[in-house]
Amino acid sequence: MDEDRPRVTLDVGAEECPLNWVRVKLRLEAMADGEVLEAIVADGAPAMNVPRSAREEGHEVLRVSAPVHGRVRVLLRKREVSGGP
């Protein structure tokens, strides 16, 4: 699906928690509503915490891949903020 194709890939696999989420969050904030971000995170706690934090912020977690060489691919769709009153 093209709508799930990431516009940006951000590799934070070498970052420690919570800096990895901070970098992902800042990147999402710079993107347009509905755009998809591919975040590469370390396996383990980051692979659980980044998707959890994204959900808590209202973003959609499209996919969390199985680990490959200690890295996990997380696809996130930036939440859409309605412009209504």
CB-based contact 32:47 (threshold 8 Å): no
Strand partners, 76: 37, 61
Clarify whether 77 is annotated catalytic: no
Q: Which of 6, 11, 15, 17 is catalytic?
A: 17
pTM listed for this prediction: 0.89
Query: How many domains does the chain fold into?
Result: 1
Instruction: Tell me the residue range of the domain where 37 lies.
Output: 2-77
Sign, CA torsion 39/40/46/52: positive
pLDDT tens, N- to C-terminus, the chain (85 residues):
466 888 899 999 999 889 999 999 999 999 999 999 999 999 999 999 999 999 999 999 999 999 999 999 999 999 988 765 5
82 located within any domain: no
Q: How many CB atoms within 10 Å of residue 70? A: 10
29 located within any domain: yes
The CATH number that applies at residue 40 is 3.30.110.40
12 to each of 42, 82, 84, how far by Cα in Å? 8, 29, 34
